[in-house]
Structure 1
Amino acid sequence: MEQMFSKRHYRIDRSQIAYLRFILESYDGLAFMSTLDNREALIEISYPPSRQADAEALLSALAAEVAMTQVSAPDLHR
């Protein structure tokens, strides 16, 4: 079964969560952000495989602008 969305996980500065969500939503369907842990500023960004090139280009540009650090997928069942 093909995965419906590709996912990346990042830590960012908590003050940047709303800004990043605003930017991603402005790209209408390119990528979606979920905040997994507000205290830790851990977010998940999902995007459809068909938009991978565009999504990863945007994430690369945003990583420098909002100091996003990619992390491995968290264990949410602990």
Structure 2
Amino acid sequence: MPLYIKDDAVDRLARRYQTLTQAPSKSEAVRRALQKALDEEMTKPALEDIAVAFCRELRKRADNASAPGKVDT
């Protein structure tokens, strides 16, 4: 299936990436760039995981602050 890029700026980006990565074609350069972007997105923690970690840290700090004999610094 052919890849048609109608936006000149996107075409320049694809050709530049093709040159930098030495991809054999513009389509391959776009495929590589998209795969890299997807891989990076997939390795990011989910917002839910970030929120849970944040809440756990707050709870831990609150528990430590309310512990008997604990002096605030």
Task: Provide TM-score, normalisation by structure 1.
Answer: 0.29
Higher share of residues assigned helix: 2
**Rg larger for:** 2
> Which structure is higher in RCO with an 8 Å CA cutoff and minimum separation 6?
1
